[in-house]
């Protein structure tokens, strides 16, 4: 008897949960940003205004990728050859990982955060990339750029989508 009641309760709980998920997923809500990202022109203007350390990586196909940088205290850094590259999720940008960038730099690591093509302060169609091959090429060119600065060793750090790239 108890087993039947428990199964009935679990079944009802699952139905209610799935129903709520559908309601929340499709319930119309006004967005303060109207789901419109910034334009390439606005991204370029924001890059010019930004005072924090950053680099602009020019890709072989002429696009500009934004590379945020968090520098460690030179007196505390014994990890001068090691860099960490933060890779953001599919709808994010490197600025969302400021807390992680600061944490790594406080531990002595020079940390970089890449805005993918079409994300954050990088150029390109907002939220879009020409394809996986170009995405991988952007990453390879970014790592090569970091190596030019003298970082012989580097590590990836990211969440969800950001961690998929190193495995491709």
Strand order of the β-sheet with 82-87 is 54-58, 64-70, 110-115, 82-87, 153-158
Residue 13 φ/ψ region, left for φ over 0, alpha for ψ in the -120 to 50 degree band, beta for the rest: alpha
State the Cα–Cα distance between residues 153 and 164, nearest whole angstrom: 20
State the Cα–Cα distance between residues 5 and 96, nearest whole angstrom: 46
Question: How many angstroms separate the most distant Cα atoms in the chain?
Answer: 70
pLDDT in tens, 104-136: 999 889 999 999 998 889 988 877 778 888 988
pLDDT in tens, 25-81: 666 555 444 545 677 788 888 888 889 999 999 999 999 999 999 998 887 767 778
Q: How confident is the model at residue 154 (pLDDT cuts 50, 70, 90)?
A: confident
CATH 3.40.50.1820 fits 40-167, yes or no: yes
- Here the tokens at position 163 are 């961690």
Residue spans of alpha helices (H) in 36-97: 40-49
Q: What is the mean pLDDT of residues 81-90?
A: 88
Taking the domains of the chain in order of start, what are their residue ranges?
Answer: 1-30, 40-167
- Here the tokens at position 51 are 């005072």
State the Cα–Cα distance between residues 42 and 59, nearest whole angstrom: 20
Indicate if the alpha-carbon torsion angle 93, 95, 101, 105 is positive or negative. positive
- What pTM was computed for the model? 0.73
Burial group, residue 124, by CB count within 10 angstroms (0-12, 13-18, 19+): buried
C-alpha pair distances (Å), 87 with each of 11, 23, 54, 145: 39, 32, 15, 15
């Amino acid at each position: 008897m108890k087993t039947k009641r428990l199964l009935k309760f679990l079944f009802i709980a699952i139905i209610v949960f799935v129903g709520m998920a559908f309601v929340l997923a499709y319930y119309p809500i006004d967005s303060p940003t109207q789901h419109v990202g910034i334009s390439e022109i606005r991204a370029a203007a924001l890059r010019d205004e930004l005072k924090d350390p950053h680099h602009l990586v020019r890709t072989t196909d002429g696009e500009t990728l934004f590379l945020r940088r968090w520098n460690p205290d030179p007196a505390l850094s014994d990890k001068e050859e090691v860099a960490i590259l933060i890779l953001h999720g599919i709808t994010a940008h490197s600025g969302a990982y400021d807390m992680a960038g600061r944490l790594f730099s406080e531990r002595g690591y020079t940390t970089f955060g890449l805005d993918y093509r079409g994300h954050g302060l990088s150029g390109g169609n907002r939220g879009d990339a020409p394809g996986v091959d170009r995405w991988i090429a952007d990453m390879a060119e970014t790592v090569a750029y970091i190596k030019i600065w003298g970082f012989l060793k580097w590590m990836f750090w990211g969440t969800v989508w950001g961690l998929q790239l190193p495995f491709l």
